[in-house]
Each structure stands twice: as C-alpha cells, then as structure tokens.
C-alpha cells in the first residue's frame, strides 16, 4: 500500500512539474528514447566497424608513399615521410607497433565502446574503447581527473579525459606515443594532443578529430572518420602479434631508410592518380581550395617539389615541451615495483626502495640536493645505502656529496673494511665505472665524492631490496665510463644519458664517447626489454633526461641514430667535409623533436660528434 | 501487483516526458520559430577543410569510385562518363547538386533567408541550397532537390536525470532530408546518383580545442538505382571571420589540371 501511495505521489509531482514548466508538444523529433539509460545519440555503447565509404584506400597500414594530401605536414614531417621505407616494418620493434588516436578509428577490425558507471550512483565514470587491431584499450575518464604529469610514460592509446558538450562527447588525449597520422610515413609525434568529438546519429558515429602536433604539423589537422554499428556483436576481438626475426642474420644496427632526395617512389601515387606531386606532398595549403592556385604553374610547382625533397632553411629547434618541471622542486614518480624517478634537478634520479637502504642511481645537478634527500626520506624508511653513477657528467654526480653524506652503508659497518677505514659504512657507498672515478678526480678542481667502489669491464651485480640489480658498463657511448642499471624484479632500466627524450645524445667524444658505442648501448638495452603488449609497457626505462618511457621510445631513438649515421657516413664516403655535412642538415627530420640551436648541446655539436665518430 | 503498477506509471511518465521535449514556448504560447529555436548559429562563411577523401574531392578521376557502394549499373554509368557530352549538353553543374556540392572544396555562405529557411550559397559552381523547416515546398526536380530541415535535440527528462553526466542538453543537430533530385554526380568524376536518391544530412556544431569553430556534416545517400547500400560520408567546415577567399566560379565538368 505504501508503495502505491509513493508511486501516485511521484506521478502527481511529475505531471504537475510538466504542466508548470509549460512544456508543450512541439515538433522536435528527438534522438532516442527518454527512458534511457540512455539517450541514443549520446550513448556510444555497442559494437562498431570502420565505414570505408570514405578514405577507402587508407585504412590501417594502407596508403601509398607520397599520399599525404590534406595533411598539414611541416617540412620536417615531410622529410621524415620521404625518408621512411616500408621495410622499416621488418625491424623488430616496429612489427607490433600500436595504433595511436585518431588513426585508431581507421583500423579495419571491430571496435567496441561501453560505459562504466558507479554501481551506487550510476554516474558515468568512464567510456571504454576496445579496438581489435592491435588490441587498443582506451579509457576515457569522465570523472574530471587531471592528466598525468609530463614526465609520465606515454602509450599508443594515450591518456584520455572526456566531457559532454551537449550531445557531442569531446575526448582530449595526451601522453600518446609517436605514431602515424597515416601509416605511409606521415608521423604523429609524441608531443601531439588529440581532441576527438564523437557524434552519434542513429547507427553512425562520426568522429571529428583535431590533432595538434607542434613537432610535425604546421596547423591543426582535422579529419573525420565514420563508424557503423554492428547489430550483432562480432566474435573477433583479438589481434595476435609477436615480433620475430624477419631477416635472419640482420645486424641490430640496420634500419632501412631513404636518403634525402633519393626516395624512388615519391611520384608513383601522384602519377597513378593524376594528382600534382606538390599537392600530394601535403602541407597546410593542401587542406583548402587554394591548393588549385598553388599547383597551377607546373614549372613552379615542380621546383617547389624539388625544394621539399631535401632540407632547406636554417636549423630548427625542438618544439616539443620539456617534460622536466624545472620549478625549483623535486617531483617523485612511481615507475614500477620498487622504483621511483625523481626529476627536477638536472639528470633524472632513480631510487630503489625496500627493506634495505635505498639504492640511488645518479644524484642530479646538486642544486636541490636537500630536497632530493627529503623526498627520498618520504619513500624510503631506510637511509641511502648505495649510489650508482651512470656518468661523470656534472648533472649526474652533482648531488653525490650530499646524498652520500645523508646515507649509510650498514653492510660495511662491522665488516673487515672497518679494520681498514675508520669511516667504513658512514655515508652511502658510491659505485661507478672506474673512468667515472678517474675523470671526476682529474677535473680541475676535482669533483666531489667520486665513486669509491668501481668496476672496469664486467657487470656489477647485487641482490638488493629483494631484487637482482645489474650494473652494466657501456663502453664508449656518451663517454668511456657509462653504465646502465637494470632492476630485474621491478623490470626498470636506468639508462643515464645513453637515452634521453629531450635531445640528441650528448656524445662526448673528448671523453671517450662515440656514435657507434651509443648505438651499441641502445641495442644492449633493447636486448633486455620486453614489452607487455604491442610495444606498450613491460620493461620501463628511466632516461637520463626527460620522461619515463618503455622499449618503443628507445627503439625509435636507436632508429633515428642509425638513420642519421647512415646519412653522414654516406656523405663522408663521398668526401664531404664537416661543414658540408652540417650544411646538408642530416638531422632535419628530427630537429623539431630533438634539435637545439642554442644551449650546451646544439644540433651542430651533435652532428659534429657523429662526424668525428665516423671519421675515426 | 505493485511492480506492475510501477511499470505502468513509469511508462506513463515517459510518455508525458516524450511529449514535453524540445524548445517549445510556455503553455499557450506559439512554439518558437526554427530560427529562434536554433541550438547553434551556423550563419556566416565557412571553408571546407579537406582531409577525408582528399584524392576524390580535390583531384577526382574518371573510374575512381573506390569506397562508393555502386551496383553494376552504377559502375557502368560511371565508367561510361563522357565529360565532353556533358559540356555539349550544357550540363556543367551535374556534380554540383545537393549530393555532391558540400564535398566540393570551396566556401559556403550560410544565412537565414527567413525565420523558416536556411540558405547555403557556394562559391564553387555558384549554387544555392534552400533548407526549409516545416512542410516541404516541392517544385520540379532540380539539382538541389527539395530539402526539408528540422532541428534535433537530445532529449531531457527522465533519461537525462539518469544520464546526467552527459552535460546540458542545449545543443542539437540540424537534420536535412533532400529528395526530388535531378540525377547528378556524387563526385566530380561522373559517379552517378539517380532521381530516386534520398539524401539525409546532419549538421553538427563543434567548438574546436584550437579555438576554431567547425561544422561537421554526416551524410547518408540512399539510391536504390545505383547503390547496393546507403553510402555514408562526412565532411567538415571551418568558420571564417569574414568572406576572405570567397571566389565564385562557374560549374566545370572537368577539373583544370596543371
């Protein structure tokens, strides 16, 4: 009886509110049923497939070389695309490359969208997306959470948050890995921000995407993709991909590419489809009707094509934001397992915590050491026991003195060392390659607190904080004293400056560094990494500078260096001088990502280091 | 018994609610005009931003109908297209009809002709589309056909209460249904549509993250004469501050290639 009364009361309230609000029936055919959950038109749940009525030849890894019309590629991106060879996909790390948005929508497999709701309030927490091809797993958070810090790892799916603007779901995605705008060489950088607007009309979703990429686009790229609802959910949702040896015997430093101006296929698409090459080359002008005027003068257009085949103009600096906060504070990021990254004072600092004392890799520039010590104390209940230096460079060892003094090495106290050294165990033990010690001591004035525990050729290994820790010397990479540290249980590798996400490698040829050693070191790291799924996750990497990464970013860095090496090597073989090599800008397609025109490590310095390495 | 009663009540409420949607005026007032009820302002100058179907929109070639679900007859007609015949017959504008014009690169000037009518003028081919709200006012078939316009609003009410995270329902779409078309080409390469074609368009207004304003058009072309299934495509347009770039040109059968 109580229930009946309650229902009648609700009914009366509803009817009266309808009357009071003055709503009358007007002609406005809505989208869907008012009973919900779900307002069709704004609920995207269901199984979908890409509709190929438009861009029919461009799905997934399709698209001809030179088919870049309508993409506002900048000069660096076009050079990247012209340099790209399809056989690059035979390189191990490229074989299971993931799909980045918005390219994801063009994959030909099945797509599924569904909602996650709070079980108690039914508030929308997230919209989930699963794409069969590459098993893309995206979560669009609808709960207002912030995006991760800039020094957090990227994934192919990125980190997405969503917001409804009326019936349009706007999804903002950051932290995306370098992927494809089109899988025919047109790159999307890891600095891109993608905003997708999902619009549903009946059984069709239109995805209107904006790509803002300061590295590779001269203007926001906008495009639509279409999805058609599948009335019956398909069974195929998986995408088995394991990389494998494609060409036995191939060396680890082989990366197929075309030299600038030597891509033999650049005209094929344009000729076959009677498209002016200049238009097919992309660029902001190719998005608008004005392209017709730009290609009208055949001779001028051909000259413009020729000019776009090779670098021109002054060197470009990186347009990717620096992920390091540089705000006078130390920022702590949990990487995996026992491992944290501290950033904000020069080179990145890695900290392993556990039941024993903290093991710290590198100590930063030393300007914020007190804060570093304070932050370590927050994550480790024990004092710093070991410090490992990956290099003698000041931004890696500058905090040695304070961090060493703040720590203690109880493994020495009471050992036979106590008989030899009165201060045994007082302060952390500093470990490093012998050349780190040697070079720190040889500086004028000598640098503080060099490693006291050194090694030369063989790995140092420890079982510390309940996991195996390996310290590998990397001969003649950045210097002649580099090391990488692998925390095997946490599966985190600390690379020092052998790998950074912020600049070309600081190959210090005067102190024993070389390009060849650098590439070997990167390949060594890649031989130890295992991705979790399609080049995402698994082994995490703490670079010397920049954000946390995984295997993919290291492989991309290695590929870049091999490609640049091959270009410079080719010029040297042809008798080019250093000045001629510099003028040719062999790094032009990467400069907007890693280049510098000022500061302590410019692109020209890097090219000179490459040249010097290869001339030896 | 109680459960059944509850279901009946809910259904009743839903019915009431369904009738209570839209942008009606107060009780006893006349409903607002389509112009007054517009959920967004689409007037002004827009430029097509061509990324999707770039090749087919920018530089179409005879026989290149990839993606179009043509039936054998459709393919036969497309393959036998003779531009010279169109020129000789004075049929330069067959690709500039309602089905094709919005995907031809160009600029579009959108205005309210009156409170019931949206007008779209194009610089490419100098065409005018008239989108009328309310009862269709058909006349003889022409390339632009007869276009019936209506606003579609997301529904509020019970569903909205449940799905309240979706944000306010102040937005909506413009739906345009065009019939009574004279046969033409859906691309500038002789890919045909027939007099039986029916074009359904949705125009959605998007505020871009980059500060630009976009109009996103989703089109469905049904043509039992030449298509094996409805053909769905999209296009998008960027709002311009003024008429910059407005360049009226006559219809042309052939693309002037360098």
CA distance A70 to B55: 9
Mean pLDDT confidence for B67-96: 98
Confidence of residue A61 (pLDDT cuts 50, 70, 90): low
Cα A341 to Cα A335, A378, A497, A548, B30: the distances in Å are 7, 13, 15, 8, 65
Q: Is the pLDDT of residue B156 over 70?
A: no
Quick one: three-class SS letters along A212-224? ECCCCECCCEEEE
Mean pLDDT confidence for A563-585: 98
Confidence of residue B48 (pLDDT cuts 50, 70, 90): very high
- Which of A35-39, B36-40, B173-177, B211-215 has the lowest average pLDDT? A35-39
- Name the percent of chain A lying above pLDDT 90: 83
- Residue A255: per-residue pLDDT: 97
Q: Is the pLDDT of residue A48 over 80?
A: yes
- Residue A151: per-residue pLDDT: 98
**Nearest by CB to A53, which of B55, B67, B105?**
B67
Mean pLDDT confidence for B118-138: 92
Mean pLDDT confidence for B237-244: 98
Mean pLDDT confidence for A238-252: 89
Beta strands A136-141 and A159-165 are: parallel
Query: Given CB atoms, is B135 within the 8 Å cutoff of chain A?
Result: no
C-beta atoms of A295 and B258 within 8 A: yes
- Residue B138: per-residue pLDDT: 65
**Nearest by CB to A166, which of B20, B168, B236?**
B168
Query: Given CB atoms, is B8 within the 8 Å cutoff of chain A?
Result: no
Domain made up of A331-615: CATH architecture: 4-Layer Sandwich (3.60)
CA distance B180 to B196: 8
- Looking at the complex, report in whole angstroms how far the Cα of residue A351 sits from the nearest Cα belonging to chain B: 38
- Residue A67: per-residue pLDDT: 97
Owner of token pair 């969208």: A113
Mean pLDDT confidence for B70-76: 98
User: What's A176's DSSP letter?
Assistant: B
Which of A9, A28, A40, A194 is the best substitution to test chain B (most B C-beta atoms within 10 A)? A28
Confidence of residue A116 (pLDDT cuts 50, 70, 90): very high
Q: For chain B, what is the mean pLDDT?
A: 87
- Residue A32: per-residue pLDDT: 32
Beta strands A549-550 and A540-543 are: antiparallel
Mean pLDDT confidence for A301-309: 97
- Residue B258: per-residue pLDDT: 64
Question: Which among A392, A205, A108 has a CA at the least distance from the CA of B232?
Answer: A205
Mean pLDDT confidence for A498-524: 98
Q: Whole-structure pTM over 0.95, yes or no?
A: no
- A324-352: per-residue pLDDT in tens? 999 999 999 999 999 999 999 999 999 99
Query: Given CB atoms, is B222 within the 8 Å cutoff of chain A?
Result: no
Query: Given CB atoms, is B7 within the 8 Å cutoff of chain A?
Result: no
Mean pLDDT confidence for B102-118: 98
What are the boundaries of each domain within chain A? 46-64+92-229, 331-615
CA distance B159 to B167: 12
- Which of A7-11, B53-57, B112-116 has the lowest average pLDDT? A7-11
Question: Which among A505, A507, A510 has a CA at the least distance from the CA of A543?
Answer: A505
- Residue B168: per-residue pLDDT: 52
Query: Given CB atoms, is A297 within the 8 Å cutoff of chain B?
Result: yes
CA distance A163 to A149: 20
Mean pLDDT confidence for B29-45: 92
- Residue A120: per-residue pLDDT: 87
Mean pLDDT confidence for A20-49: 49
Q: Is the pLDDT of residue B147 over 50?
A: yes
C-beta atoms of A292 and B256 within 8 A: yes
* Closest alpha carbon within chain A to B133: A27
CATH number of A46-64+92-229: 2.40.128
Which of A24-38, A413-427, B209-223 is predicted most confidently? B209-223
- B11-22: per-residue pLDDT in tens? 444 444 444 344
CA distance A277 to A291: 12
* Closest alpha carbon within chain A to B215: A208
Confidence of residue A22 (pLDDT cuts 50, 70, 90): very low
Confidence of residue A252 (pLDDT cuts 50, 70, 90): confident
Q: For chain A, what is the mean pLDDT?
A: 92
Structure tokens at A543: 């670079």
Owner of token pair 């190959």: A507
- A410-447: per-residue pLDDT in tens? 999 888 887 887 788 899 999 999 999 999 999 999 99
Q: What burial class does residue B91 get, using C-beta atoms within 10 Å of its C-beta: 0-12 exposed, 13-18 middle, 19+ buried? A: middle
């Amino acid at each position: 009886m109580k229930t009946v009364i309650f229902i009648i009361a609700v009914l009366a309230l509803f009817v009266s509110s309808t009357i009071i609000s003055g709503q009358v029936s007007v002609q406005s055919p809505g989208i869907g049923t008012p009973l919900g959950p779900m307002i069709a038109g704004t609920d995207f749940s269901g199984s979908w497939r890409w509709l190929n009525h438009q861009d029919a030849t461009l799905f997934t890894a399709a698209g001809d070389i030179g088919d870049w019309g309508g993409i506002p590629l900048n000069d660096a991106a076009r050079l990247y695309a012209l340099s790209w060879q399809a056989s690059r996909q035979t390189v191990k790390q490229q074989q299971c490359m993931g799909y980045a948005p918005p390219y994801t929508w063009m994959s030909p497999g099945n797509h599924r969208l569904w909602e996650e709701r709070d079980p108690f309030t039914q508030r929308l927490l997230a919209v989930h997306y699963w794409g069969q091809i590459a098993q893309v797993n995206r979560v669009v958070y609808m709960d207002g959470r912030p995006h991760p810090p800039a020094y957090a790892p990227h994934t192919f799916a990125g980190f997405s948050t969503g917001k409804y603007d009326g019936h349009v779901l706007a999804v903002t995605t950051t932290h995306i890995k370098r992927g494809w705008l089109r899988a025919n060489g047109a790159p999307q950088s890891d600095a891109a921000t993608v905003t997708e607007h999902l619009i549903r009309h009946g059984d069709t979703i239109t995805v209107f995407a904006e790509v803002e990429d300061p590295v590779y686009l001269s203007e926001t790229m906008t495009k639509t993709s279409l999805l058609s609802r599948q009335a019956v959910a398909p069974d195929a949702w998986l995408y088995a991909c394991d990389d494998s040896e494609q060409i036995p015997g191939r060396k680890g430093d082989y990366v197929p590419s075309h030299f600038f101006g030597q891509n033999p296929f650049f005209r094929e698409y344009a000729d076959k489809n009677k498209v002016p090459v200049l238009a097919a080359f992309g660029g902001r002008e190719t998005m608008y009707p004005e392209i017709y005027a730009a290609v009208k003068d055949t001779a001028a257009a051909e000259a413009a094509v020729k000019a776009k085949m090779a670098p021109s103009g002054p060197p470009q600096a990186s347009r990717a934001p620096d992920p390091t906060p540089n705000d006078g504070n130390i920022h702590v990021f949990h990487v995996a397992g026992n491992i944290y990254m501290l950033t904000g004072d020069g080179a990145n600092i890695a900290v392993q915590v556990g039941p024993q004392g903290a093991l710290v890799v590198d100590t930063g520039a030393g300007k914020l050491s007190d804060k570093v010590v304070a932050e370590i104390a927050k994550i480790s209940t024990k004092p710093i026991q070991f410090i490992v230096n990956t290099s003698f460079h000041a931004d890696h060892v500058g905090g040695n003195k304070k961090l060493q003094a703040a720590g203690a090495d109880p493994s020495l106290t009471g050992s036979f060392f106590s008989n030899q050294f009165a201060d045994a165990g007082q302060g952390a033990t500093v470990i490093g390659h012998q050349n780190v010690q040697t070079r720190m001591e040889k500086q004028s004035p000598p640098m503080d607190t060099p490693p006291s525990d050194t090694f030369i050729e063989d790995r140092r290994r420890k079982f510390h904080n309940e996991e195996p820790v390996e310290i590998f010397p990397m001969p003649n990479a950045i210097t002649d004293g580099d090391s990488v540290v692998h925390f095997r249980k946490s599966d985190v590798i600390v690379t020092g400056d052998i790998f950074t996400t912020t600049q070309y490698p600081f190959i210090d040829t005067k102190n024993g560094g070389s390009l060849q050693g650098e590439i070997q070191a990167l390949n060594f790291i890649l031989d130890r990494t295992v991705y979790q799924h399609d080049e995402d996750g698994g082994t995490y990497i703490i670079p010397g500078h920049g954000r946390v990464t995984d295997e993919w970013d290291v492989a991309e860095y290695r590929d870049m260096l091999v490609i640049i090496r091959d270009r410079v090597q080719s010029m040297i073989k042809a008798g080019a001088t250093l000045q001629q090599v510099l003028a040719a800008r062999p790094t032009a397609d990467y400069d907007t990502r890693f280049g510098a025109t000022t500061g302590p490590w410019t692109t020209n310095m890097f090219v000179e280091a490459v040249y010097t390495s290869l001339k030896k | 018994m109680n459960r059944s009663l509850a279901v009946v009540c809910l259904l009743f409420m839903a019915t009431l609610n369904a009738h209570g949607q839209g942008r009606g005026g107060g009780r006893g007032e006349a409903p607002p005009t389509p112009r007054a009820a517009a959920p967004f302002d689409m007037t002004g100058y827009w430029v097509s931003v061509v990324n999707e179907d770039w090749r087919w929109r920018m530089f179409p070639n005879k026989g290149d109908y990839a993606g179009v679900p043509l039936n054998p007859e459709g393919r036969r007609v497309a393959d036998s297209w003779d531009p010279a015949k169109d020129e000789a017959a004075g049929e330069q504008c067959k690709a500039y009809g309602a089905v094709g014009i919005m995907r031809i690169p160009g600029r579009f000037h959108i205005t309210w002709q009156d409170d019931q009518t949206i007008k779209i003028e194009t610089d490419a081919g100098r065409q005018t589309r008239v989108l009328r709200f309310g009862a269709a006012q058909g006349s003889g078939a022409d390339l632009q056909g007869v276009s019936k316009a209506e606003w579609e609003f997301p529904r509020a009410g019970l569903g909205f209460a449940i799905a309240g995270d979706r944000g306010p329902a102040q937005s909506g779409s413009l739906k345009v249904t065009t019939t009574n078309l004279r046969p033409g080409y859906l691309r500038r390469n002789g890919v045909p549509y027939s007099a039986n074609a029916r074009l359904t368009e949705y125009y959605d207004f998007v505020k871009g993250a980059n500060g630009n304003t976009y109009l996103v058009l989703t089109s469905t072309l049904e043509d039992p004469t030449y298509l094996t299934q409805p053909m769905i495509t999209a296009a998008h347009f960027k709002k311009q501050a003024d008429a910059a770039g407005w360049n009226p040109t006559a219809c042309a059968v052939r693309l002037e290639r360098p």
